[in-house]
């Protein structure tokens, strides 16, 4: 899988914490110290043979089935946070 490059590298830690918090809220065993490991749990749930290291055998569709729920839930949470912030002003 290709690594997404974030626009603000300094935000990596906070994004990782958001990922862990959101996925934990969805019932996954997300660890705050290794939040990226939640992808293995999502992959297992989907029946996708994702492993640490090289995963060239994974199709684009399979990668999307792993990353989609993670990224999608993160975006939903960020929208919710922005909406709450706007209503407070």
- In terms of residue numbers, what domain contains 15? 9-88
pLDDT digits (tens, 9 = 90+) for 44-86: 999 999 999 999 999 999 999 999 999 999 999 999 999 999 9
**37 inside domain:** yes
Domain count, the chain: 1
**2 inside domain:** no
Q: Report the C-alpha gap between 59 and 1 in whole angstroms.
A: 9
Q: Report the C-alpha gap between 69 and 82 in whole angstroms.
A: 20
Q: Looking at residue 4, what is its pLDDT?
A: 62
**4 inside domain:** no
pLDDT digits (tens, 9 = 90+) for 31-47: 888 999 999 999 999 99
For 16, the enclosing helix (H) or strand (E) is helix 12-25
**62 inside domain:** yes
Residue 1 has pLDDT above 70, yes or no: no
pLDDT digits (tens, 9 = 90+) for 10-30: 998 999 999 999 999 999 999
């Amino acid at each position: 899988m290709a690594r997404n490059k974030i626009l603000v590298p300094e935000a990596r830690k906070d994004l990782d914490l958001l990922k862990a918090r959101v996925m934990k809220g969805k019932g996954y065993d997300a660890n705050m110290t290794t939040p990226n490991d939640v992808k293995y749990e999502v992959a297992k749930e989907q029946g996708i043979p994702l492993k640490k290291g090289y995963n060239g055998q994974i199709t684009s569709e399979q990668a999307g089935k792993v990353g989609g729920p993670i990224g999608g839930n993160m975006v939903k949470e960020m929208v919710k946070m922005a909406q709450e912030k706007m209503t407070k002003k």
